[in-house]
């Protein structure tokens, strides 16, 4: 899966002024600020993308701050339960995690697997409720599937014709 990182990252000093530190956010969520939770929360905040638990473990390893896989999973679970982390439903495959933010949906490229946030018109869940439900709906995640601009631009001319009938 390709990692897009074209957004300019604000310096850590700007971040401290503008928003709460990971320690503050953990405390407000009534979670102890353990090292694994801090590492994962900070990493997701910095990366701004959608990552599997295994990818997060690999990145931490590359950065010389390795965590045991079980610790990555446990921390993600705790952060997920308190809404500090969200799980992106992008279809079958690995569960992808991202920093908790406004409720949104995802566009998934069927060619390269890129995952892009799509704003939700309502911005909170559940944003869709069917007419009849055999229970209570807590959330509705929409997956938009298609081809991203990158992949469309790589399509051969004769294939492009079939894409735009």
Using CB under 5 A, list all residues that contact Zn ion.
88, 98, 109, 111-112, 114, 117, 148, 151
Please state the closest distance from residue 140 (CB atom) to Zn ion, in A.
Answer: 15
Q: Which is nearer to Zn ion, 76 or 109 (CB)?
A: 109
Please state the closest distance from residue 32 (CB atom) to Zn ion, in A.
Answer: 26
Largest CA distance in the chain: 57
Please state the closest distance from residue 112 (CB atom) to Zn ion, in A.
Answer: 3
H helices of the chain, where? 12-18, 22-28, 35-47, 53-62, 69-81, 149-153, 157-163
Q: Which is nearer to Zn ion, 33 or 143 (CB)?
A: 143
Q: Which is nearer to Zn ion, 40 or 71 (CB)?
A: 40
Q: Which is nearer to Zn ion, 55 or 114 (CB)?
A: 114
Q: Which is nearer to Zn ion, 33 or 112 (CB)?
A: 112
CB-based burial, 142-161: b 16+ in 10 Å, e otherwise: eeeeebbeeeeeeeeeeeee
Distances (CA, A) of 86 to 49, 79, 104, 139, 163: 11, 8, 10, 12, 33
Please state the closest distance from residue 108 (CB atom) to Zn ion, in A.
Answer: 9
Closest CA to 52 of 101, 113, 92, 98: 98
Please state the closest distance from residue 148 (CB atom) to Zn ion, in A.
Answer: 4
């Amino acid at each position: 899966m390709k990692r897009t990182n074209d957004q300019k990252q604000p310096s850590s000093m700007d971040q401290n002024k503008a928003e709460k530190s990971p320690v503050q956010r953990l405390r407000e969520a009534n979670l102890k600020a353990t090292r694994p939770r801090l590492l994962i929360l900070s990493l997701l905040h910095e990366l701004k993308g959608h990552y599997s638990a295994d990818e997060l473990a690999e990145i931490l390893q590359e950065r010389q701050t390795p965590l045991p896989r079980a610790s990555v999973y446990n921390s993600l679970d705790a952060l997920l339960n308190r809404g500090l982390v969200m799980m992106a439903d992008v279809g079958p495959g690995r569960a992808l995690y991202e920093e908790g933010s406004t409720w949104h949906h995802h566009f998934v490229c069927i060619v390269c697997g890129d995952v892009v946030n799509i704003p939700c018109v309502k911005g909170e869940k559940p944003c869709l409720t069917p007419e009849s439900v055999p229970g209570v709906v807590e959330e509705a995640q929409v997956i938009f599937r298609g081809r991203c601009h990158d992949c469309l631009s790589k399509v051969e001319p004769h294939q492009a014709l079939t894409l735009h009938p």
